[in-house]
Amino acid sequence: MKLDNMFKKTKYSTLRRSEYRTETVRPEVPEGLLRKCNKCGAAIIAEDVKKDAYICPKCGGYFRMHAYRRIEFVADEGTFEEWDRGLETKNPLEYKGYIEKLEGLKEKTGLDEAVITGKVKIDGTETVIGVCDGRFLMASMGEVVGEKVARAVERATKERLPVILFACSGGARMQEGITSLMQMAKTSAALKRHSDAGLLYISVLTDPTTGGVTASFAMLGDIILAEPKALIGFAGPRVIEQTIGQKLPKGFQRSEFLLDHGFLDGIVERSELKATLANILKLHKDSGCDTERMQTLSRNDVEHGAADEEVPSAENLSAWDRVMLSRMQDRPVGSDYIERLFTDFIEFHGDRFFKDDHAVIGGVARFAGVPVTVIAQAKGTNTKENIERNFGMPSPEGYRKALRLMKQAEKFHRPIICFVDTPGAFCGLEAEERGQGEAIAKSIYEMSALKVPVLSVIIGEGGSGGALAMATADEVWMLENSVYSILSPEGFASILWKDSSKAKEAAEVMRLTAKDLCKLGIVEKVFEEPQDFSAENFEQVIRPLREEIARFLSEYGRMSEQELTEYRYMRFRNM
């Protein structure tokens, strides 16, 4: 029998239209044989959907997951220990019929309220977990939800555990009035203390996350992840349309929209969720940094590739030759360094204000096993990618993303390694509107006092303040044919000599080459480059870099926070 025919004969064909008509009203997968996907309309076998993590086998659309299923799905088997079951609301408005409604829902769903909390292990790492369940009054946040979340976070703080909260909520619970509103403050305050204790909070947003939950615990994660295409917003689309009388763009308030606007660290497919959470938890274990391992790193800890035949580097290049080489198309770019020097890299996106700037790539990775924060100014490897990455010219949101990740590194005691490669910060109307100068200034200001080791490596162009904003470091290294200058030779010639065609002469007087800058004490180390430096002979640069990074981490990892900040202060104070 064809599925469609079967479908007609099941009770699902009698579902009320409203139950599957809109995207935001989704029925749960029933226990029966068939159901209809509310995204593509296909008839699908309920068992298949369950087996496949509640994903439509036809269109890949995500169904909501019951809270206990969600926990089964991410936790190691048999590790869930539930906390605080059975709390009762005081029904603050004495709202008629409310208690009866709750009793009915408890019976129907087997839940005691709209959130389940407790402790689990994920791939062996212990964590506190909370999961909202949309079947219970659209997981709106009443007093009991707020109380359970706050208690779970407080206990995590006491036991020094990370917290993972899966949000899915219509927002505040109207039946509890202003008491419901206060749960936003209660949960946020508990998370602030958890964060101040140096602990990790991962927020996972699922469809839909709206209203008072978005405006409190959902948006406060150190790391904020979302499932694909989830509706996430403060005011729902219908409310906005009715209020301002404007039609909203397609994809408005979906996960992809939020990622682009800088509010998510990443979108994770359900099939990748457990592995992603496990990886993040491991990278943050023991406050994120394996201090002992870092302090004892040596050259022997970094793998040695088979020694290639060394190609002697060019000695007699002019400064202008080096400017040209620093801009070469086939020169390895930031992402190449991340790939070759580190393992377990997870990219985190967004400045949490406006945008995710593709001219800056940042995230957490391991260097010889030690968790580090890595941030690179990113040129593309072809024209298309270069356009997407704005030719390596960061916008204010790029510097704000970098700074956000650096502050996070500081919170988790991770060293920071930056790769600099930019013609300069992006000049443009939009960049000025959003405060390019402020973004660079703030970055320099905050970097100068970060309480963790900071290393910057200039791998291509070190263009002016746009470069310094990621190079206010303990040590700054340069590749032999990279350059670092107050502005481009073209700009220099045009300002001082009113003639940009004199760029070549300008390059010679600007002292922008690695060797000049080393002599001036602006940089500590210069790495030789092979002739025709490219992906082909990349290892010749990577090998000594690896050894020196191991040396850097070991040396600076032994310094106290005070010694580090004092050292960095004096490094620039003496210039």
Site for Zn ion, rule CB under 5 A: 37, 39-40, 56, 58-59, 61
As a whole number of angstroms, the distance between CA 266 and CA 275 comes to 14
DSSP reduced 3-state for 22? coil
Q: Which residue has the tokens 């609301």?
A: 89
For strand 201-209 and strand 223-226, is the pairing parallel, antiparallel, or unpaired?
parallel
Residue 309: CB atoms within 10 A of its CB come to 7
Q: Is 138 left (phi over 0), alpha (psi -120 to 50) or beta?
A: left
φ, ψ (nearest 5 deg) of residue 448: -60, -25
Give the residue from 342, 88, 130, 114 showing the smallest Cα distance to 220. 130
- Do 188 and 165 meet the contact criterion of CB atoms below 8 Å apart? no
Least distance in angstroms from the C-beta of 37 to Zn ion: 3
Nearest to Zn ion of 37, 403 (CB atom): 37
Q: How many residues does the chain have?
A: 575
Q: How far is the CB of 340 from Zn ion (least distance, A)?
A: 41
The pair of three-digit structure tokens given for residue 154, joined into one six-digit string: 């407080």
Three-state SS for 153?
A: helix
37 versus 116: smaller Cβ distance to Zn ion: 37
Alpha helical stretches, state H, 417-538: 429-433, 436-447, 464-468, 489-497, 503-510, 514-519
CB of 33 to Zn ion, least distance (A): 17
> In the complex, what is the shortest distance from the CB of residue 36 to Zn ion, in angstroms, rounded to a whole number?
9
Toward Zn ion, which CB reaches closer, 52 or 321? 52
Name the residue among 448, 462, 347 with its Cα closest to residue 401. 347
Q: What angle do CA 327, 330, 336 make, to 5 degrees?
A: 100
3-class DSSP state for residue 116?
A: strand
DSSP β-bridge partners for residue 62 = 55
Strand residues in 317-428 grouped as ranges (E): 343-347, 360-367, 370-377, 416-422
Min dist CB 57 to Zn ion, Å, is: 8
> Between 61 and 424, whose beta carbon lies closer to Zn ion?
61
Closest contact distance (angstroms) between CB of 469 and Zn ion is: 46
Q: Which is nearer to Zn ion, 37 or 370 (CB)?
A: 37
Nearer to Zn ion, 34 or 224 (CB): 34
- Nearer of residues 44 and 224 to Zn ion, judged by Cβ: 44
Query: CB 131 → Zn ion: shortest distance, Å?
Result: 24
Closest CB 22 distance from Zn ion, rounded Å: 15
Q: Name which of 61 and 530 has its Cβ closer to Zn ion.
A: 61
Nearer to Zn ion among residue 26 and residue 194 (C-beta): 26
Question: CA dihedral in degrees (536, 541, 544, 548; nearest 10)?
Answer: -130
Task: Give the nearest distance from C-beta 230 to Zn ion in angstroms.
Answer: 16
